[in-house]
């Protein structure tokens, strides 16, 4: 046998592997730092969102593939909601109106957390009061639950009288960039100006 024992050669390979790993790690870290320096992707953003298929308010199947390359707003709600859902829909409507044709590249998705009552027909009727570009999405409970989980959004059924119920749910609007990554969130509690700036930044990304 040569001067190097099997053990020493294993050790040498281990060192080489460690060195390569360190170099790769440093490169990834450097890239990550550089990326975050000029880009506002939120920490953990990669874990928010993802591919899905639901049914849109026109009754057709809607695939998230159709959002490729387009910035989009995603928000969760339901039509048996007296306050925040119509308010958010109206605010999004006003922002889209203000942006004019520039808003055509922006998709806006209203995903129900109450698919049992929010049928495509009902969503279509309800959404007729808002900007036509807002897409209402529903599906089976399993389907809407799965999408909600992709977005780490919360929803909970609160029983009322006579079998009636209401829903507690995440009220934030997710601002997703062209690549499908979470850029920011906005809420109805922020000023109109703050929301306007967030949408403008999303379109510029």
Partner 1 sequence: MKITPIRASAALQVAATLITATASLAGDYKAGDLKIGEPWTRVTPPGAAVAGGFMTITNTGKEADRLLGGSATISKRLEVHEMTMDGGIMKMRELAKGLEIKPGETVELKPGSFHVMFIELTTPPAIGTPVKGQLKFEKAGTVDVEYKVAPLGAKSASDPAGKVDAGGMGHHGKH
Please give the residue ranges that form the binding site for partner 1 (CB under 8 A): 79-84, 86-87, 89-91, 93-94, 96-98, 100, 103, 122, 125-133, 154, 158, 160-161, 164, 166-172, 185, 187-189
Q: How far is the CA of 205 from the CAs of 104, 191, 195, in angstroms?
A: 16, 22, 16
Q: How far is the CA of 187 from the CAs of 30, 79, 140, 190, in angstroms?
A: 33, 18, 27, 6
Burial status of residue 8 (CB atoms within 10 A of its CB: 0-12, 13-18, 19 or more): exposed
Nearer CB in complex with partner 1: 23/55: 55
Nearer CB in complex with partner 1: 42/84: 84
Q: Give the shortest CB-180-to-partner 1 separation in angstroms.
A: 21
Nearer CB in complex with partner 1: 18/116: 116
- CA separation for the pair 14, 6 (Å, rounded): 12
Tokens coding 83:
């306050």
Q: Give the shortest CB-184-to-partner 1 separation in angstroms.
A: 13
Q: Confirm if 202 and 67 have CB atoms less than 8 A apart.
A: no
Q: Confirm if 156 and 168 have CB atoms less than 8 A apart.
A: yes
Nearer CB in complex with partner 1: 53/99: 99
Question: How many residues can be counted in the chain?
Answer: 205
Residue 183's SS3 state is: strand
Nearer CB in complex with partner 1: 62/75: 75
Q: Give the shortest CB-65-to-partner 1 separation in angstroms.
A: 25
């Amino acid at each position: 046998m040569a001067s190097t024992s099997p053990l020493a050669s294993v050790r040498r390979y281990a060192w080489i592997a460690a060195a390569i790993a360190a170099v790769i790690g440093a490169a990834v870290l450097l890239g990550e730092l550089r990326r975050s320096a000029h880009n506002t992707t939120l920490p953990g953003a990669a874990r928010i969102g993802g591919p899905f298929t639901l049914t849109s308010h026109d009754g057709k199947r809607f695939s998230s593939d159709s959002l490729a390359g387009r910035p989009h707003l995603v928000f969760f709600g339901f039509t048996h909601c007296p306050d925040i859902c119509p308010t958010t829909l109206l605010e999004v409507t006003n922002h889209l109106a203000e942006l004019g044709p520039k808003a055509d590249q922006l998709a806006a998705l209203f995903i129900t957390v109450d698919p049992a009552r929010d049928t495509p027909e009902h969503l279509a009727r309800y959404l007729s009061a808002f900007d036509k570009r807002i897409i209402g999405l529903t599906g089976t409970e399993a389907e809407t639950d799965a999408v909600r989980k992709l977005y780490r959004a919360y929803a909970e059924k609160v029983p009322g009288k006579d079998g009636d119920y209401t829903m507690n749910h995440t009220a934030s609007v997710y601002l997703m960039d062209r690549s499908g990554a979470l850029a920011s969130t906005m809420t109805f509690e922020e000023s109109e100006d703050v929301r306007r700036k967030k949408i403008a930044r999303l379109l510029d990304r």
